[in-house]
Amino acid sequence: SYLPGDCLVAAAFLSYAGPFNSTYRNDLVTRHWVPYVKEYSLPQSPNFEFAGFMSKPTDVRQWNIQGLPTDRFSTENGVLVTRTKRWPLMIDPQDQANKWIRKMEASSDLKVIDPKTKDFMRLIERAIELGKPILMERVQEELDPSLEPVLSKQIIDSGGSLSIKIGDNTLDYNPAFMLYLTTKMTNPHYTPEVSTKTTIVNFIVVEAGLTDQLLGIVVMKEEPRLEEQKGELVVKVADGKKRLKDLEDEILRLLSVSQGSLIDDIDLINTLQESKTISEEVTQQLEISEQTMKKIDQAREAYRPCGRRASLLYFVLSDLTSIDPMYQFSLDAYNEVFIKSIDVSREKNPMTSSVEERLGVLNQWHTLAVYRYACRALFEKHKLLLSVHMASKVLTAEGQLSASEYAFFLRGGQVLDRSSQTPNPSPDWIKQPMWDGITELDKLESFKGFPSSFEQTLREWKKWYMSAEP
């Protein structure tokens, strides 16, 4: 009964949401598309979720095994890549999509090429005829014009026989052919022509998404049984739903072929009775499984502060590129540092009495590990800057550092208009730039009334200022 609204939002998501990050996608769904559906009174699921509507839990689990991260944003990307009618073009600076595609298509004889591969069009033509997948990585903003008929899917259907013309060659087209495109550019600007012929999918890691990925790693290391149970339950729930669907299909089949009175159809009556019994059993099992899943998710959430800290520190390292373009750290290497820090923390602090205490130990050891790891790559003059940046980000995340106070610490007080400025009580030793800073501090909540303290206790301030070690 919810299909009309769900299908409309899912179609919009498939068509338009791919290039955007998780926050903007969520805004599109909740603030634009869902209200539009409600405005026209189309029936829709109360808690519509694109990935849940367009994929099976068993498929998602298989993607995760093949290397697709477990967070919701990555799952949405997996659906976009596998369900789109156009060829996917993945923005993938951290190589997450690339590695997933390689593993997912490994059994299908995947060929990996790039725009500089010699005679790459010949490889694509052969893959088209044989129905094999092609991964073209490291594409730039301009795509080779020879790809035009492939990107546009200029397929000719002649009485059920499919073909495609590439240049002067007309090739048999095998529907099993797949083309995947990836780029390592973080902010590419594709032309409208490219955007309309491909489905652009944004795989760029953001802090919230990386938190979920790292949460999965830490739970797997700390509570492996929880992750195993979750995987088993995903399969169990999916199997249960499949059984219910199979029962419904069988009943519909029997109804469609039944002749005469339904009451006299013994096979149909027996099937209905059996279906009712199995349906009740499966429904009960599903309820138990889903309740257990919620408990497991609650237990996993206890480790979220660790995932959040690790995610924050990765983006601290990413910020270093603004100092020197050479300071680039791969996500794979960072994950290895994270895993190793978990192992080391267990060796050094084997006795922890609670999850909270364990989280403190994990965060301390990982923060130290990240600092040591990064310092090996930094010039000496930049190591102190890394320390300050790490400390400020951690303190800000914990609510212990005011953003406005930290901004003042970095830039000082800058006054453009002194007409309304409090008069300087002693210009002979309080220079104008100093007084500018003092009056600007007055605008911060913690320093309200700071300039007036100079008027009231000027002698003490001067004594402090003139001392050898103020």
pLDDT of the residue at 50: 96
Please determine, for residue 382, whether its predicted confidence score (pLDDT) is greater than 90. yes
407/335 Cα distance (integer angstroms): 31
Q: Which residues contact 422 (CB under 8 A, 6 or more apart)?
A: 439, 442, 451, 452
Mean pLDDT across 71-90: 95
pLDDT digit string, tens, across residues 383-411: 999 999 999 999 999 999 998 899 998 88
Token output for 213? 């990925």
304-401, which class in CATH? Answer: mainly alpha
Residue 208 or residue 379, greater confidence: 379
Of all residues in the chain, what percent carry a pLDDT higher than 90? 66
318 CB neighbour count, 10 Å cutoff: 18
What are 109-168's pLDDT values in tens digits?
Answer: 999 999 999 999 999 999 999 999 999 999 999 999 999 999 999 999 988 899 999 988
Among the listed residues 157, 190, 198, the one whose alpha carbon sits nearest the alpha carbon of residue 14:
198
CA 91, CA 182: separation in Å to the nearest integer? 6
Would you place residue 79 in the very low, low, confident or very high pLDDT band (cuts 50, 70, 90)?
very high
Place of tokens 């997912």: 104
Q: Is residue 287 pLDDT above 90, yes or no?
A: no
Q: Give the pairing type, strands 111-113 and 87-91.
A: unpaired
Average pLDDT over residues 302-313: 96
Q: Do 54 and 79 form a contact (C-beta atoms < 8 A)? A: yes
Spatial contact of 100 and 68, defined as CB atoms under 8 Å apart: yes
Instruction: Count CB-CB contacts under 10 A for residue 316.
Output: 21
pLDDT at 265 over 90: no
- List beta partners, residue 201: 90
Average pLDDT of the residues of the chain: 90
Q: Which residue has the tokens 């070690």?
A: 469
CA angle 354, 359, 365 (to 5 degrees): 130
pLDDT digits (tens, 9 = 90+) for 452-461: 999 899 999 9
Q: Is the pLDDT of residue 304 over 70?
A: yes
pLDDT reported for residue 137: 96
* Distance separating alpha carbons of residues 363 and 337, to the nearest angstrom: 13
**Residue listed under structure tokens 């909270």:** 356
pLDDT of residue 322: 93
Which whole number is the average pLDDT over 331-340?
Answer: 95
Local confidence band at 88 (pLDDT 50, 70, 90 cut-offs): very high
Looking at the chain, the whole-number percentage of residues with pLDDT higher than 70 is 100
pLDDT of residue 240: 78
CATH 3.20.20.120 fits 108-204, yes or no: no
Over residues 290-299, the mean pLDDT reads: 83
Average pLDDT of the segment spanning 220-229: 85
More confident position, 309 or 252:
309
Q: For 143, which DSSP code?
A: P
* Range from 41-45, 126-130, 259-263 carrying the lowest mean pLDDT: 259-263
Class of residue 364 by CB neighbours under 10 A (exposed 0-12, middle 13-18, buried 19+) = middle
At 223 the pLDDT is 87
The candidate with the shortest Cα–Cα distance to 364, out of 304, 306, 428, 295, is: 306
pLDDT at 352: 82
Average pLDDT over residues 234-260: 78
What pLDDT shows up at residue 165? 94
Residues 6+ apart with CB under 8 A from 258: 265, 268
CB 333 within 8 A of CB 189: no
Higher model confidence: residue 239 or residue 6? 6
| pLDDT tens digits for range 439-449 | 999 989 889 99
Residue 204 confidence class, pLDDT cut points 50, 70, 90: very high
Structure tokens at 172: 């048999």
Phi, psi of 198 (to 5 degrees): -130, 165
> Per-residue confidence at 10, pLDDT binned at 50, 70, 90?
very high
Q: Please name the residue that has the structure tokens 């002749």.
A: 259
Of 269-273, 278-282, 362-366, highest mean pLDDT: 362-366
Q: Using an 8 Å Cβ cutoff, are 149 and 195 in contact?
A: no
Q: Cα separation of 431 and 416, whole Å? A: 16
pLDDT of residue 228: 81
H helices then E strands: how many in the chain? 21, 8
Residue 458 CB contacts under 8 Å (≥ 6 apart), including other chains: 425, 426
Burial of 458 (0-12, 13-18, 19+ CB in 10 A): middle
SS (H, E, C) 390-439: HHHHHHHHCCCCCHHHHHHHHHCCCCCCCCCCCCCCCCCCCCHHHHHHHH
Q: In the structure, what pLDDT confidence band is assigned to residue 262 with cuts at 50, 70 and 90? A: low
Sequence ranges of the domains in the chain:
1-84, 108-204, 224-298, 304-401, 402-470
For helices 224-257 and 266-301, the axis angle rounded to 10 degrees is 160
